[in-house]
Structure 1
């Protein structure tokens, strides 16, 4: 049974997240031909400028679905083999036995066993993702640092493996998606940014979505604030930031409307074929950066509630920015939400994040948006 949109209920739910402590957030929910867009709070805590639902936003690892779709398109064209070892294409980046054992599929679904490079790019992330043992200094030091993906890949590949290639649970690692960016460049002769823009973003008709080449967000956007688990107090603005440290893994800028359009088209077989979509929806257990085991496909993961339909999508974070997008399997119900504060939970004496009112309010918004 389909749940119609209730604008008053959605308005109240998004306002509750703001009242719980989120400076600003905005969202779009679709049910068939019905569309609700809402926003609550401020885009700039200094001026009080309000957020609006059409703002462009850093959406973090939602980028991975776009990158995975671009790779699947090249699989369909015959330029990439989904179960071909990555060493066949990029032997210089993943040499030897691992290059022969790690397949393209293992990179996309995080079962490669390749370690996360971020602790080596950001010294203060030495215990990533255990942020309790870190400090925020590297965020300021690297605002305008231009990283080269091959250097970052080398650090991830050179780190101790997190498991044997193909073993589960896999370990979520951005190293995998930087390698996929290099793979796209290798087989298409263009940069990953150009390939994903042409074959995915433009194909989907997304007018406010881009993989940035500089540190700024063009067009109307919110400032974004990083709390770093209470270690940055008050939270600091990181809306100007060079995202080359994550590239095709997590640098995308988009809007909630564009995200809903993209995922709706993806699940309808309009970005990749239905057979490729079926591959994307084959999941394996993967340990997320938060230490939780999730079911992860090829750049997609499902969300399910008891007695409710399955939704597919992805979440993402950047320094200060967060987003979540979910589309019901039949494509008729969609939700995308963007947040301008990250890591708002403080730590208890043992270093574990403490519950925050934002957690419950945000979960309630997502329930209302997805299930009515």
Structure 2
């Protein structure tokens, strides 16, 4: 049984994140039938327009749970084998010995050993050359660049491997999920966006979730501010951006209410079968993009507690926007939070992000939201 929601404490915790330096944030917390929604700060630092809890938002790698659920649906139908080598499906994208060794499961749980494509996408496609050097130079030039996913995949596949296939800890890599998108398209005969929309988003009854048709976020939304570790000062608005640089591995737009609805239905066995959900909750050790070693399943990871009591979900960041969604294993307590500033931590001389008051304020909000 969860502690009842302390509405005043949640309001105060949200406001404290704003006071710590977050321009704006909004959230929804659920405990059974009890629901709290809150917002603090501004959606636009120029006009001062406030954020509201119903705004649509780029949710980044939370998209991976949707993509993983779509793949598991195809596993249930017999069109995909979890432990089948990806080379059996996409030999032209992952050829040779690695194609024969890397399985679909390894892509889903980031143990393929394939590198992240982003730092290697230059010079041939001129993508983000400064990312590997921790500089923000490329972002403005690439707002409206349309990337070819197979080219991005090729960059990750031909880059030096980050580990042997199946070895743990694995290393989190968007290359894995771009390959899963291509796999979905191969076996379904439609685009991954169309399949996920029809069979995951609409199946879950989500009204405000979808993939962007262009570079803009439709409907009420906040501007999204990128600081790039304090190197962009003041932070720049990157809410208008062509998301083909990540595609259906991280380009989804949603609301905090829809995220809670989705994870609630997923953990109730209403998106994939209970046996598929059990596969999604089988975790391995993975090094995250932040350099932390975490437990990671198939597009899901647990947070804060032993598995039987863990909160399951995912976080996500893109330029200027971040979100985190977590649902307790029994489905009763849920939290979804969206923020409109990213990479607020400055780097020390060794390149290590330094603590910021926002970090502590967010941690307090998360603890209160999940545990009361």
Tell whether the structures are fold-level matches, with TM greater than 0.5: yes
Write the distance in 1 (CA, Å) between the matches of 2:308 and 2:86.
Answer: 38
SS of corresponding position for 1:21: coil
SS of corresponding position for 1:323: strand
SS of corresponding position for 1:137: coil
Write the distance in 2 (CA, Å) between the matches of 1:222 and 1:26.
Answer: 10
Write the distance in 2 (CA, Å) between the matches of 1:194 and 1:308.
Answer: 34
TM-score by length of 1: 0.97
* CA deviation string 1:160-215 (max 9, x = no partner): 11111111100000000000000000000001111111110010011100111310
Structure 2 residue aligned with 1:240: 240
Structure 2 residue aligned with 1:29: 29
**Structure 2 residue runs without a partner (length 5+):** 122-126
Kept in 2, the 8 Å contact 1:118–1:125? The answer is: no
Write the distance in 1 (CA, Å) between the matches of 2:222 and 2:352.
Answer: 29
* CA deviation string 1:105-138 (max 9, x = no partner): 00000000111101123343452xxxxx321111
2:129 pairs with 119, 124, 127, which one? 124
SS of corresponding position for 1:124: coil
- Is residue 323 of structure 2 the alignment partner of residue 315 of structure 1? no
- Is residue 329 of structure 2 the alignment partner of residue 329 of structure 1? yes
Moved over 6 A (4+): none
Residues 340, 126 of structure 1: alpha-carbon distance in 2 compared, 3 angstrom cutoff: closer
Kept in 1, the 8 Å contact 2:211–2:252? The answer is: yes
* CA deviation string 1:11-51 (max 9, x = no partner): 00000000000000000000000000000000000000000
- Is residue 207 of structure 2 the alignment partner of residue 207 of structure 1? yes
Kept in 1, the 8 Å contact 2:14–2:40? The answer is: yes
**Structure 1 residue runs without a partner (length 5+):** 128-132
Q: CA deviation at 1:305?
A: 4.1
Write the distance in 2 (CA, Å) between the matches of 1:71 and 1:366.
Answer: 30
Write the distance in 1 (CA, Å) between the matches of 2:309 and 2:135.
Answer: 41
Structure 1 residue aligned with 2:346: 346
Write the distance in 1 (CA, Å) between the matches of 2:224 and 2:79.
Answer: 39
Write the distance in 2 (CA, Å) between the matches of 1:229 and 1:357.
Answer: 14
Q: CA deviation at 1:350?
A: 2.9
SS of corresponding position for 1:75: helix
Structure 1 residue aligned with 2:124: none
Write the distance in 2 (CA, Å) between the matches of 1:92 and 1:345.
Answer: 40
Residues 263, 243 of structure 1: alpha-carbon distance in 2 compared, 3 angstrom cutoff: same
Kept in 2, the 8 Å contact 1:124–1:134? The answer is: no
SS of corresponding position for 1:154: helix
Structure 1 residue aligned with 2:168: 168
Write the distance in 2 (CA, Å) between the matches of 1:362 and 1:144.
Answer: 32
Kept in 2, the 8 Å contact 1:308–1:371? The answer is: no
SS of corresponding position for 2:89: helix
Kept in 2, the 8 Å contact 1:120–1:126? The answer is: no
Write the distance in 2 (CA, Å) between the matches of 1:370 and 1:136.
Answer: 34
Q: CA deviation at 1:60?
A: 0.3
Number of aligned positions between the proteins: 367
Residues 102, 322 of structure 1: alpha-carbon distance in 2 compared, 3 angstrom cutoff: same
Structure 1 residue aligned with 2:192: 192
Kept in 1, the 8 Å contact 2:225–2:320? The answer is: yes
Kept in 1, the 8 Å contact 2:305–2:311? The answer is: no
Kept in 2, the 8 Å contact 1:260–1:325? The answer is: yes
Q: CA deviation at 1:349?
A: 2.9
Write the distance in 2 (CA, Å) between the matches of 1:118 and 1:333.
Answer: 35
